[in-house]
Amino acid sequence: MTLTVFASGSSGNCTLVSEGDTHLLIDDGISFRRLSQALSRRGLTPGELSGVLITHEHNDHISGIPMLSKHCGRPLFAPCASALIMSRGDAGVEAYMHRIEQDAEFSLGAFRIRAFPTPHDAVCSVGYRLESASGTLGYCTDCGSLTEEVLAGLSGCDAVVIEANHDEEMLRFGPYPVYLKRRILSERGHLSNENCGALAVSLAETGCSGFTLAHLSRENNRPELAYQAVRSALDGAGYSQRELTVAPVFGELCVEVSRQCCV
């Protein structure tokens, strides 16, 4: 299984997960032109996508969906409430929409997929667990707190994409207005570097061997701060051998996911 992050952050989110001839996007918050160029670098076209898994209806996760639907008509999978909002916003999306429950399980090509609810200030928000013959990947960004559902959805995965949105000091003393700071810090906002570190340790205890940090804020975080916070948490808990990467806000990151035996 190959994971390629095309975009991550408030300016757009889009990730490709491939296994054999099955190619899935998780979210599409970038332009059709940018997506086409990114796929071309992987030897693919938008028409070869097997589908799009949508986490929630915020614009930085779905802005590219209308043009993708117009040009290629790929299957879309979204939580019911998010699907309704998206279909009302663009009539061309409805024909390709598959509504799923927050705890849905379904198969798509080479993947067995399970959605699980995430605490975020959207009408409905989910993470995804994708299992194939070669490994299991968990994907969970835009997550304000570590709930039982989140931990259950990610536990036992070989690799995960998890949110390290902000450094708390940068956020608290930064330029954002108070209402926005409160939103981000709330239990339905975004995970801090420290909370991400705690999540990483919890998942390492269940056997997770690879961690990709995503959805970093450009204003309230820096890649080296996110990396150091999570690396220190893992090292301090005795998991210094776990792989850790940071998805860039601009640029791409490619990671191989495979079943591994962790000690």
- Structure confidence at residue 262 (pLDDT): 42
The C-alpha angle 245, 254, 134, rounded to 5 degrees, equals: 100
Task: Identify the CATH assignment for 2-256 out of 3.30.470.20, 1.10.10.10, 3.60.15.10, 3.30.413.10.
Answer: 3.60.15.10
The tokens describing 179, both together, are: 């209402």
Q: Across the chain, what does the average pLDDT equal?
A: 95
How far is Cα 111 from Cα 68, in angstroms, rounded to an integer? 22
The percentage of the chain sitting over the pLDDT mark of 90, rounded to a whole number, equals: 93
Contacts of 16 (CB under 8 A, 6+ apart): 2, 3, 4, 6, 23, 24, 25, 26, 38, 39, 42
User: Higher pLDDT residue, 263 or 150?
Assistant: 150
Q: What is the mean pLDDT of residues 148-165?
A: 98
Closest of 75, 62, 1 to residue 35, by C-alpha: 62
Q: In this structure, are residues 142 and 118 in contact, taking their beta carbons and an 8 Å threshold? A: yes
Rg (CA), the chain: 17
Predicted confidence (pLDDT) at residue 148 exceeds the cutoff of 90: yes
Q: What is the pLDDT of residues 194-205, one digit of tens each?
A: 999 999 999 999
HEC string of 78-112 equals EEHHHHHHHHHHCHHHHCCEEEECCCCEEEECCEE
- Supply the DSSP symbol for 128: E
State the first-to-last Cα distance of the chain, in angstroms, to the nearest integer. Answer: 22
Query: What region, left, alpha or beta, does residue 135 occupy, with left being phi > 0 and alpha being psi -120 to 50 degrees?
Result: left
- Structure confidence at residue 261 (pLDDT): 45
Domain boundaries, the chain: 2-256
Q: What is the pLDDT of residues 30-57, one digit of tens each?
A: 999 999 999 999 999 999 999 999 999 9
pLDDT class for 249, splitting at 50, 70, 90?
confident
